[in-house]
Amino acid sequence: MKKKVLIIYTGGTIGMMQEYKTRTLVPINFKSITEQIPELKHLNCKIDFHSSHRPIDSSNVKPSLWEELAAIIEKKYSMYDGFIILHGTDTMAYTASALSFMLQNLSKPVILTGSQLPLGVIRTDAKRNLITTIEIAAAKTVVPEVCIYFNSQLFRGNRAEKFTSSKFDAFHSLNYPILAEAGVDIVYNHDSIRKKSTGKFSVVRGFDTNVALIKIFPGIQSSIISTIAGIKGLKGLILETFGSGNAPTDKKFIQAIEEAIKNGLIVMNISQCSGGAVDQGKYETSVQLKEIGVISGGDMTTEAAVTKLMFLLDKKYSLEKDKKYLLSDMCGERSR
> What is the DSSP code string of 142-159?
---SEEEEETTEEEEGGG
The active-site residue out of 10, 13, 95, 302 is 13
Residue 274 has pLDDT above 90, yes or no: yes
Residue 13 a catalytic site member: yes
Residue 297 has pLDDT above 80, yes or no: yes
Cβ(144)–Cβ(196) below 8 Å: yes
Residue 32 has pLDDT above 70, yes or no: no
Q: pLDDT tens across 229-239, in order? A: 999 999 999 99
Q: pLDDT tens across 46-66, in order? A: 999 998 767 788 899 999 999
Number of Cβ within a 10 Å radius of residue 213 = 16
CATH of domain 211-327: 3.40.50.40
Cβ(83)–Cβ(50) below 8 Å: no
Residue 122 has pLDDT above 90, yes or no: no
Fold match flag (3-203 vs 211-327): yes
Domain residue ranges in the chain: 3-203, 211-327
Amino acid at 121: V
Give 171's pLDDT tier (boundaries 50, 70, 90): very high
- 3-203 fold: Rossmann fold (3.40.50)
Query: Left if phi > 0, otherwise alpha if psi is -120 to 50, otherwise beta: which for 23?
Result: left
Q: pLDDT tens across 79-114, in order? A: 999 999 999 999 999 999 999 999 999 999 999 999
Residue 328 has pLDDT above 80, yes or no: yes
Q: Percent of the chain scored above 70 by pLDDT?
A: 98
